[in-house]
Structure 1
Amino acid sequence: MIEGGCRCGAVRYTIALDALPPVYACHCHICQRVSGSAFSVQALVGEELLTVTGPIIVREIVTEDRTSSQRFCGECLARVYNTNSRRPSIAVVRAGTIDRSEELSCMAHIFTAYRQGWVEIPDTVPSWPEVPPLAEFVAALNR
């Protein structure tokens, strides 16, 4: 069982997995703005594997082709995970909220066309300048 939670500890979660999930970095401008950093790092997990306790606030962001439901801690407002109508049943967990996050391995980088110039991506890690082909992306995460 993998555990994690928000900054203040009011929200805690478990992911029904035996091993830490693979994570990826997204360098798009939206992730830069939302994270306040050069990129965001996240894990894709089956929503049915995620059990969350504590005060969650949901904020829906609607665009022309999808609805993203962002989940934040109701106390410290840390973003914990989101779901997206284009990827039903998948939770996008913010990697920094996973306990033992220092043990995670970044398996791929996406939207690298927007990366900060000082960010270097190792040649051994798959990356795509925009949205990756789904099959390639999933293969990279599971290698």
Structure 2
Amino acid sequence: MNYTLALDALPATYACHCLDCQTWSGSAFALHAMLPEAVIAVTGPVVLYAHEGPGGHTSCQRVCGVCHTRIYNTNMAVPGMVVVRAGTLADSHLLDPVAHIWVKRKQPWVTIPDGVPSWPESPSPEEFAAAVRKG
């Protein structure tokens, strides 16, 4: 499976430190980019995994049908948007997260740089959009 993003530059990314992201990534946090669904084009086999989140919204995870890496998801709470797993981007080494969410669950050894917005849980949509726009 391959995917492309119709973007001129790397997207703004954020780190999520929630327990689900830690478990699903097998790491301390997961890097994400929230983008309009129209910018992603996928070729090859994709496996869909749908589950209901704590707020009652269905999240549909897309994983590579070959290696089972999570690539992106959609959520009925934010129609028309996708959340891309930024670590799967070809230039992921160039990413610099513009925000951190669910930091009340972050690993104690993770240090968030001064000046980078962070929230104990999920920010309001307005706060989050402002942080991502600045990035």
> Would you call these one fold, judging by a TM-score over 0.5?
yes
Residue by residue over 1:24-45, the C-alpha shift from the partner in whole angstroms, topping out at 9 and shown as x without a partner, is: 0000011111111110001011
TM-score for both structures, normalised by structure 2: 0.95
1:74 aligns with 2:74: no
1:116 aligns with 2:107: yes
1:41 aligns with 2:37: no
Aligned residue number for residue 40 of structure 2: 50
TM-score for both structures, normalised by structure 1: 0.90
Give every structure 1 segment of 4 or more consecutive aligned residues whose post-TM-superposition deviation is greater than 2 Å: none
Higher strand share: 1
- 2:52 and 2:106 map into 1 onto residues whose CA distance is 25
Aligned residue number for residue 3 of structure 1: none
State how many pairs are aligned: 133
| Partner SS, residue 125 of structure 1 | coil
| Partner SS, residue 142 of structure 1 | helix
Q: Gaps spanning 5+ residues in structure 2: where?
A: none
- Residue 80 (structure 1) shift: 0.5
Q: How does 1:83-98 map to 2 (within 5 A)?
A: 83-98=74-89
- 1:131 and 1:100 map into 2 onto residues whose CA distance is 27
Aligned residue number for residue 129 of structure 1: 120
1:22 aligns with 2:12: yes
- 2:71 and 2:122 map into 1 onto residues whose CA distance is 23
Aligned residue number for residue 107 of structure 1: 98
Task: Give the residue type in structure 2 aligned to 1:13.
Answer: Y
